[in-house]
Structure 1
Amino acid sequence: MNGWFHSWRAAVRIARRDAWRSKGRSFLVLAMIALPIVGVSAADLTLRSAELSPQERATRLLGAADARVSDPGYGGVAVQQSPDGQRTAPADEKYDSQPVPEGRTDVGKALPAGATLLKDTIGHGKLRTVHGLLHTEVRELKAADPLARGILTPLDGRFPQRPDEVAASSRFLAESGLEIGGTLTARGLEREYRIVGSYEVPDDLEALQVNALPGAFLEPLRKGLEASGLAVPDISTEHLVKLPAGGGHGFTWNMVQEVNAKGVIAVSRAVLVDPPADADVPLYQREGHSPFGQGLGSDKAALVAVATVVGLAMLEICLLAGPAFAVGARRSRRQLGLVGANGGDRRHIRSIVLAGGLVIGFVAAVAGTALGLVLTFALQPVLEQAFGQRFGAFDVRPLELLGIGALAVLTGLLAAVVPAVTSSRETVLASLTGRRGVRRSNRVLPAVGLVAALLGAAIALYGSVFSDQFVIVAGGSALAELGVVAMTPALVGLFGRVGRWLPLSPRLALRDSVRNRGRTAPAVAAVLAAVAGTVAVATYATSQDAQQRAEYTAQLPHGAVSVFLTEDGGRDVPAVREAVQRHVPVDVRADVARLAVGKSSCGPFSSDEGCGRTELVIPKANECPLWADTGTDEDPAERFSKEERRKLADDWRCRSEDGGYVPTNDGLLVADATLLKVLGIDDPAVERALAEGRIVSLQKRHVDATGKVSLRVIADAKAADEAAERNEEVPGVLKAFPAYQVPDGTPSYGIAGLLSPAAAEAAGLGTAPLGSYYSTDHLPSSEQRQRLDADLAKIGSEIQFHIETGFTSENSIVLLALTVFAGLITIGAAGIATGLAQADAEADLKTLAAVGAPPRVRRTLSGFQCGVVAVMGVLLGTVAGVLPAIGLRLTERRQKEQMYQEGRDAGWTGVADLPHVPIVIPWETFGALLIAVPLGAALLAALLTRSRAAVARRAAA
């Protein structure tokens, strides 16, 4: 034991001294190992700090209170809830099939005697800013009260103490242009408020929020909006609860269930910190209300995914760092030979080389972990802004960081294993004299690799053709790739046969790489692994892009613009139209309106008192039988056989309409023929139909057998909704219009029908401005969009704005990043192999110089050595990477075709077209990898290599 300790101690000392002597090589290997450690340790610290503890979550939600209670509006009916209060349901299961009663309950009477309540009310309003109006959340909470401490974080000034004071979130002040000390008003409210402070919401740093005292803002705003005939936003109220002194263990789960029995929902600090078992939660015992959560299978899948990523990362580092350790072993051959000459055996030589990996791995672990700590701490404010919330305490888990550090040490040791074994096999005489001896290639490893590659390809083929499991394809592809990596030395030898047709310098570089496969193969394997991953993801992403492009449904013709506004009877529509006209390169503008029933302030979907709506009637003969209401819980499709359901799935009555959206209840617009130009409908018959007062139907199902379209005018929208819930006939007056059905294949863009303004007036129907459609000369630029957004923000209404830009790939940035990543790995691996080649071929270069070769030969040879490694790795990686991508796409195709057939058998609508799952090869990415990356690596190596060799010194005796 003592001898083992001293031998390793000596080996570590030798390795430390050798690492210090070769600072450049040591820093390179250290950086390779340390950089992933920096990323992993920083990610661990960030995620642990961002993950709030139960106490921290409770403080942000409850402040210093014991609980937060609210009225669900069930009229005092007993409820059941999840421990966190996110899921609730009436306790009586009869309400699963019938409406829940509406009404309020007295929250205070449900709480224990002596409890302290603090009101917390949230609503919304359009607040006047420097630029116009800004839709903002208004929170009435006495934030200065000790009970609310922790919910809002003060930044500057103070929280309001008087009814005419407010505090504002920092984000609101930045967006509005207002400052502390200024005044604040709201649309529909004449009263002014003074801004006395700023704050932030820890869980939502982007919150646009204003804080006022309870009753000081929302109630006057509600009255002002009602008096002006404007829409009143919803207001929700909750209460913070503090139990009287001596409350024992706080607001327990039993107390939560007691208030549930009185129709009140409660979120308790004690329950959040120590939640009850699922078996003790009545809600979870009901069918359809089981707790959400990741099961054991998903946990295992996540662990397998993490283990796979870590394993591949370690393999990549080992393949890249292994040649660098081999460089050190080559340069220390004489030193290792002296160890053998003085009585050291192979075990000691292996220990010295492995100690080099141990030393650099340990330093990389310490440096990487320390740098990860410093970076995470320094960048925490930036990370918090990116996450949109404040982190909890800076959470350092020593055991996790030690595990990450141990991973670095293990990686260093693994990277030094092959150089250690290779160095220990050299004889003392060869090490001292510099002779290389006779080298025989290993025939077992390529044979094992060939078997693994064939077996992996067979597994991947089976998974893609006969199975629906992605994991089979991924596993087989990974096995095949590892087999190709094992075959790399033999494949490098095959590349040597190309050398006879090459000029002198590339022929010398290729022959040198083939002759010294021990240093070439790991670098080629590293490039292979990086390129294979890039090619696989690029092929898969490009194929997905082609599929999404084929599935993309345009909402408007390319370059067209739509803008809608449904609030306040379209009062601000003219201002919106003018703003769009100023900043968008408009060619044609088509104004549209909607049919309006009831008060002018009613929106198209409003069910408030005095509000109505219109509905396009679908004749019975045009209703899809698969959608027909049976009056029971039976699925309508069950009434048909499988063959009948397949036929109905192709029936035009059951087809889904194309894309597009119109913010009306029935998709009917009031417009003239100008809209046809914007929509690209060139049909004189449509123009004549509009001029004659007919409805132009863009959806076939609304036209009856007589060629008419019926419109139901509903005076009371709320009564109509209640009748629909009871499966009763919806009350309303029917108006019939002669109709013109556009030819099949004409895109509707979500519009069900068009009615001219004159026809609407003749039928006695009121209208309200809705917005406009625009065709453009060209797509607006980013600057034009920004100026337009600024003008629309000043109007302050909820505006629905859309520009049809066509399909935009979301994978282009990913593909570019992957290509750059693979290029960097390729250049790095090829550079390492080139450095090793220069160390090994120093004698050959001196011989070339001695026979009259010019100095530039050294640069040229170095560049071609680097380029040869890059080309071999990229070629092999491209072949290895295409296999998993094709396998995964074939598996997806089989799954989608199976879903397609099952959907047709079940009578699902919208599955009439066979799914399109193409396999597309990204030739641009391949070209960049096959040409640009090796060429760049060769040029970089040539530029960084000295033309003249250093003067050789005579070896010491």
Structure 2
Amino acid sequence: MIALPIVGVSAADLTLRSAELSPDQAVSRVVGAADARISTSHAGRPIHQVPDGSHYVPVGGFDDAGTPSKPKEETPDQVAAALPPGTRLLKDSDGYGKVRTQHGLLDTDLREIDLRDPLAKGLFTLDRGRLPERAGEVVATNAFLENSGLFVGSSVTPRGATSSYKVVGAYELPNDLKREQIIAPPGSLIAPLDKALRAAGGIGVLPNDSYLVTVGGEGFTWNMVQAANAKSLVVVSRAVANRPPADADVPLYRQEPKEQFERSAGGATHMAILATIVGLAMLEICLLAGPAFAVGARRSRRQLGLVGANGGDRSHIRSIVLAGGLVIGAAAAVSGTAIGLTLTVALQPLLEEQLGERFGSLDFRPLELAGIALLAVVTGLLSAIVPAVTASRQTVLASLTGRRGVRRANRVLPVAGLVAVAVGAGTALYGSVADMGATVVAGGSALAELGIVALTPVLVGLFGRIGRWLPLSPRLALRDAVRNRGRTAPAVAAVLAAVAGTVAVATYQHSSEIQSRHEYIADLPHGTGWLLTSENGAYQEVPALRESLTKQLPVARRADVDRLVVGRPGCESFSEDPTCGRVEIITPKDQRCPLHERREGPDTLSAEDARKLRQDWRCKGAVRGTQYSTVIADEKLLSILAVTDPGSVSALKQGRALAFDRRQVKDGKVTLRIIAGSDRDEMFAGTSEEPVGVDKVLPVHLAPEGTESWGLELVLPPAAVQATGLTTAPIGSYFALDGTATSEQRQRIAGDIDRMGVEASLRIEAGYQGDDSLVLLALTVFAGLVTIGAAGIATGLSQADAEADLKTLAAVGAPPRVRRTLSGFQCGVVALMGVVLGSAAGILPAIGLRLTQRRELEALARRAADDGYSLTGESVPFVPIAVPWETLAQLLVVVPLGAALLAALVTRSSGALARRAAG
């Protein structure tokens, strides 16, 4: 009991300290063996930076009146010219692309650097194979090879590349073991791929260049860094990392507050969490180990009585029992620390994989490890205090004869417990409705829980009243638990503490899950989806995409959709081709939002006027955007989108358009403006105040208010489009599934899309996907293990303490199974009492925290309503308080039952008879 937490704490200490890199180790993973890494800033003018190079600000700030010049790409010679003479540079370029794998396409980091250069040492670790020596060869990270299904010796082809590359080696990045990356010699990967992609009309790789530099001497000093900053260069320097300048010598801190560049301070929070974990561990150890020492002292009462009979006083007896706790604590400290360190060293590779980075080195901190060991010694000593005091109060006669005597119940502890429960519950509830923060709620809940722990002996006595209605074995178990509250109450309290924390977190998590599910906004009805191409001239591949959709997925219904085109079918809305234009839906002037039409802007209005205008129907209910807000389709689309309005379905059948936004409809008509390429250029230039383009007015049916549009603004039937003479191009399909799509089916259709070489998006609405079940399952398992462990310990103590009673049962002819049954019920009784009390205690903090969150969201909603905004569309935020009944049922039924069965199985059904002691 004492050594196990020490194993965990010592292992965690060594792991965290080893994962914490020294300044030189950390900077080496960025600059390799070089003195510094230099990159061009995006400010385009002189900058100030923080010493580690993680942030920079233009001189004068971003709000400076001067307009920054456009940043330009610096060549190696230009960068070298901005550095001290004799500086040697190594270019390091990285970009991003998709690489073909055995499964399809994988988003991968692309990098070019000469890995054989000595400056690159420390940036990577070659795991197997060799380094690339010529164009056409690459090395890949282990993460890339694992996820892509490739291996050393395979060939990889970035999408858009004209040739493949051979993987000649595998490596890892010590700072990011999970990164998918490939590295090629300079000029052999990014530049050819960028050229090929641009030649095909796509977007290039957009490389990001930096330089590893070495200057010799003392390295790249802070003065050199400031000189490079004056030329708009950002520097990560080894010398500065090892010897950072004083804050007074950092120009950026004189221009901007230092605090805004520091990482979010989570150290205090982490220390609070660590202190809480250690405190709970010590509490449960004391609660469980204390009765163990008490039983040990009771079984040694004859020896302790002999000490008193031979002249020993109470201090000697207390010292003997305390020495036992001290010895056990010391043994637990040595064994627990040794086991924890050994496990950490043995499991180092697994720990590094879990953390995602390699340790710098195993960092043993003797003082910290000694403090952890001292914690075990102190815990053992604390656990023995109460048994030592109790044993010292026994008279010599009672100790020698084995009589326990009659102990008066402690009346102070229940009163203190009641006061603590009242004060704690009141504080938690008051803190939830007042502006006092979650800390007050958590503190009040903790005080109330400690009060329940203090009331445990009384509550155990109340449980004993139900024993009269139970059969023999459970009645004996319950009465034994009530008679021996000294060992039962601490075990019940330990179970109570574990279950209360689990129920609190589970209730809060479950309530938050219901809130997130309520706030989730679906793109489509559940079980439906879309497969749509982008405007890249891929309309010729749409029939094949639709065929693949029907073949690879369990499609029940499919509605094909097209888009409007101005020009040839392959025209894009914002194409530079002058023959290509676009179509816009025109909102009548008197139906436009007044706030958006004000030339002075909404900021010139008073808060009250702005609030009133935002409540205007023309400024509310903005349609949720989607890739194509105007589509050409028939009434099949409405059945997939769950639009059941008969008038809407009839309108599409009759050839009339269907609109979802009433601001765009006037007198039963909608206006489409056809903007040709030349007209579009004139509109963007702002040379004409008259409307640009040709308007076409169509009869339209307005969907009833409240109809979900799923991001669509206008649905045009094919007949209406033919009447306007506009051109259409297919873009894909909406569909409804018969069941669900498996991962394999998704991968197959993704492979088909890749082989067609088109840009297409597949979206299947599966509803809100949370991790509630996984979290609650983990919490339930944790509480179950702690409960079974605590109940098992209490059962073992009861068996050791009640060995004479068990022998008496055997002597009077009780069947062998009675011993096993009694043991099972003893364990089950302790577990059930702890789970019931813990479940009741755990709901309070969850309710308090949820009420606090509700109050904060209501205040935010009121402020938003005063300004005329609605954050969620609801006047009152939905912040439910929901109890996870399934989790509670598992705790209340499964855990005690499992504990009872486990105790019964591991208990021997028969015991040896003892001879009667001489009178």
Q: With structure 1 as the length reference, what TM-score do the two structures score?
A: 0.87
Give yes or no for the alignment of 1:450 onto 2:411.
Answer: no
* SS of structure 1 residue aligned to 2:808: helix
Partner of 1:927: 889
Cα deviation code 1:573-614 (max 9, x no counterpart): 555544433332101223334556799999778899999766
Return the alpha-carbon distance in structure 2 between the equivalents of residues 265 and 229 of structure 1. Answer: 33
Deviation, 1:806, is 1.8
**Closer, same or farther: CA 544–846 of 1 in aligned 2, 3 Å:** same
Q: Is this contact kept in 2: 1:133–1:794, CA < 8 A?
A: no
Question: Which residue identity does 1:891 align to in structure 2?
Answer: T
Deviation, 1:485, is 0.8
Give yes or no for the alignment of 1:753 onto 2:714.
Answer: yes
**Closer, same or farther: CA 943–195 of 1 in aligned 2, 3 Å:** closer
Cα deviation code 1:334-369 (max 9, x no counterpart): 222222223322222222222232222222222222
| Between 268-277 and 252-261, the greater mean CA deviation after superposition | 268-277
Return the alpha-carbon distance in structure 2 between the equivalents of residues 227 and 294 of structure 1. Answer: 43
**Closer, same or farther: CA 729–199 of 1 in aligned 2, 3 Å:** farther
Q: Is this contact kept in 2: 1:131–1:793, CA < 8 A?
A: no
* SS of structure 2 residue aligned to 1:68: strand
Partner of 1:18: none
Partner of 1:639: 605
Q: Is this contact kept in 1: 2:47–2:232, CA < 8 A?
A: yes
Partner of 2:877: 915
Q: Is this contact kept in 2: 1:672–1:690, CA < 8 A?
A: yes
Partner of 2:179: 207
Give yes or no for the alignment of 1:165 onto 2:137.
Answer: yes
Deviation, 1:488, is 1.2
Q: Is this contact kept in 2: 1:624–1:653, CA < 8 A?
A: yes
Partner of 1:487: 455
Deviation, 1:103, is 4.3
Give yes or no for the alignment of 1:947 onto 2:909.
Answer: yes
Q: Is this contact kept in 2: 1:453–1:481, CA < 8 A?
A: yes
Return the alpha-carbon distance in structure 1 between the equivalents of residues 775 and 56 of structure 2. Answer: 41
Deviation, 1:617, is 5.0
**Closer, same or farther: CA 890–429 of 1 in aligned 2, 3 Å:** same
Give yes or no for the alignment of 1:229 onto 2:204.
Answer: no
Partner of 1:8: none
Return the alpha-carbon distance in structure 1 between the equivalents of residues 578 and 213 of structure 2. Answer: 35
Deviation, 1:742, is 1.9
Partner of 1:469: 437
Q: Is this contact kept in 2: 1:649–1:904, CA < 8 A?
A: no
Return the alpha-carbon distance in structure 2 between the equivalents of residues 763 and 206 of structure 1. Answer: 55
**Closer, same or farther: CA 518–193 of 1 in aligned 2, 3 Å:** closer
Question: Which residue identity does 2:487 align to in structure 1?
Answer: R
Partner of 1:675: 637
Q: Is this contact kept in 2: 1:714–1:720, CA < 8 A?
A: no
Partner of 2:465: 497
Partner of 1:831: 792
Return the alpha-carbon distance in structure 2 between the equivalents of residues 582 and 590 of structure 1. Answer: 15
Deviation, 1:795, is 5.9
Partner of 2:8: 39
Q: Is this contact kept in 2: 1:202–1:390, CA < 8 A?
A: yes
Partner of 1:17: none
Return the alpha-carbon distance in structure 1 between the equivalents of residues 880 and 45 of structure 2. Answer: 55
* SS of structure 2 residue aligned to 1:137: strand
Q: Is this contact kept in 2: 1:134–1:794, CA < 8 A?
A: no
Give yes or no for the alignment of 1:582 onto 2:582.
Answer: no
Give yes or no for the alignment of 1:526 onto 2:494.
Answer: yes
Return the alpha-carbon distance in structure 1 between the equivalents of residues 466 and 219 of structure 2. Answer: 80
Return the alpha-carbon distance in structure 2 between the equivalents of residues 756 and 233 of structure 1. Answer: 41
Q: Is this contact kept in 2: 1:131–1:794, CA < 8 A?
A: no
Give yes or no for the alignment of 1:662 onto 2:626.
Answer: yes
Return the alpha-carbon distance in structure 2 between the equivalents of residues 800 and 337 of structure 1. Answer: 83
Cα deviation code 1:48-77 (max 9, x no counterpart): 222332222222211122222222355x42
**Closer, same or farther: CA 849–399 of 1 in aligned 2, 3 Å:** same
Give yes or no for the alignment of 1:52 onto 2:18.
Answer: no
Question: Which residue identity does 1:937 align to in structure 2?
Answer: A
Q: For structure 1, which runs of at least 5 residues remain unmatched after alignment? A: 1-31
| Between 569-578 and 52-61, the greater mean CA deviation after superposition | 569-578
Which of 356, 369, 372 is equivalent to 2:340? 372
Give yes or no for the alignment of 1:363 onto 2:324.
Answer: no
Deviation, 1:648, is 4.7
Question: Which residue identity does 2:233 align to in structure 1?
Answer: V
* SS of structure 1 residue aligned to 2:712: coil
Return the alpha-carbon distance in structure 1 between the equivalents of residues 596 and 526 of structure 2. Answer: 33
Deviation, 1:424, is 1.8
Partner of 1:118: 90
Return the alpha-carbon distance in structure 1 between the equivalents of residues 574 and 373 of structure 2. Answer: 60
Deviation, 1:241, is 1.7
Partner of 1:274: 243
Which of 36, 59, 65 is equivalent to 1:91? 59
**Closer, same or farther: CA 395–606 of 1 in aligned 2, 3 Å:** farther
Return the alpha-carbon distance in structure 2 between the equivalents of residues 611 and 397 of structure 1. Answer: 70
* SS of structure 1 residue aligned to 2:478: helix
Q: Is this contact kept in 2: 1:468–1:895, CA < 8 A?
A: no
Which of 296, 307, 319 is equivalent to 1:339? 307
Question: Which residue identity does 1:677 align to in structure 2?
Answer: S
**Closer, same or farther: CA 608–240 of 1 in aligned 2, 3 Å:** farther
Deviation, 1:146, is 0.8
Identity fraction in percent = 57
Deviation, 1:250, is 1.9
Q: Is this contact kept in 2: 1:129–1:176, CA < 8 A?
A: yes
- Equivalent pairs, count: 912
Return the alpha-carbon distance in structure 1 between the equivalents of residues 694 and 562 of structure 2. Answer: 20
Give yes or no for the alignment of 1:845 onto 2:806.
Answer: yes
Question: Which residue identity does 2:293 align to in structure 1?
Answer: F
Deviation, 1:517, is 1.2
Q: Is this contact kept in 2: 1:715–1:732, CA < 8 A?
A: no
Partner of 1:250: 219
Return the alpha-carbon distance in structure 2 between the equivalents of residues 290 and 602 of structure 1. Answer: 51
Deviation, 1:952, is 1.0
Q: Is this contact kept in 1: 2:55–2:261, CA < 8 A?
A: no
**Closer, same or farther: CA 361–618 of 1 in aligned 2, 3 Å:** farther
Which of 728, 740, 744 is equivalent to 2:705? 744
| Between 76-85 and 507-516, the greater mean CA deviation after superposition | 76-85
State the superposition RMSD in angstroms.
3.6
Partner of 1:26: none
Question: Which residue identity does 2:531 align to in structure 1?
Answer: V
Deviation, 1:255, is 2.0
**Closer, same or farther: CA 627–72 of 1 in aligned 2, 3 Å:** farther
Deviation, 1:278, is 4.5
Q: For structure 2, which runs of at least 5 residues remain unmatched after alignment? A: none
Q: With structure 2 as the length reference, what TM-score do the two structures score?
A: 0.90
Question: Which residue identity does 2:82 align to in structure 1?
Answer: A
**Closer, same or farther: CA 917–194 of 1 in aligned 2, 3 Å:** closer
Deviation, 1:904, is 0.7
Q: Is this contact kept in 2: 1:519–1:833, CA < 8 A?
A: yes
Return the alpha-carbon distance in structure 2 between the equivalents of residues 717 and 418 of structure 1. Answer: 91
**Closer, same or farther: CA 80–398 of 1 in aligned 2, 3 Å:** same
Which of 736, 739, 746 is equivalent to 1:775? 736
Return the alpha-carbon distance in structure 2 between the equivalents of residues 733 and 663 of structure 1. Answer: 23
Return the alpha-carbon distance in structure 1 between the equivalents of residues 671 and 2 of structure 2. Answer: 73
| Between 394-403 and 450-459, the greater mean CA deviation after superposition | 394-403
Give yes or no for the alignment of 1:936 onto 2:898.
Answer: yes
Which of 817, 838, 843 is equivalent to 1:882? 843
Deviation, 1:866, is 2.2
Give yes or no for the alignment of 1:69 onto 2:41.
Answer: no
Cα deviation code 1:185-236 (max 9, x no counterpart): 4444434544332222333333332222222222222332233333323222
Q: Is this contact kept in 2: 1:49–1:392, CA < 8 A?
A: yes
Which of 282, 285, 310 is equivalent to 1:314? 282
Q: Is this contact kept in 2: 1:658–1:747, CA < 8 A?
A: no
Question: Which residue identity does 1:303 align to in structure 2?
Answer: M
Give yes or no for the alignment of 1:415 onto 2:387.
Answer: no
**Closer, same or farther: CA 174–931 of 1 in aligned 2, 3 Å:** closer
Partner of 1:329: 297
Return the alpha-carbon distance in structure 2 between the equivalents of residues 819 and 131 of structure 1. Answer: 37
Deviation, 1:811, is 1.8
Return the alpha-carbon distance in structure 1 between the equivalents of residues 127 and 852 of structure 2. Answer: 55
Cα deviation code 1:89-142 (max 9, x no counterpart): 432447557864324154333222221121112223444445555443321111
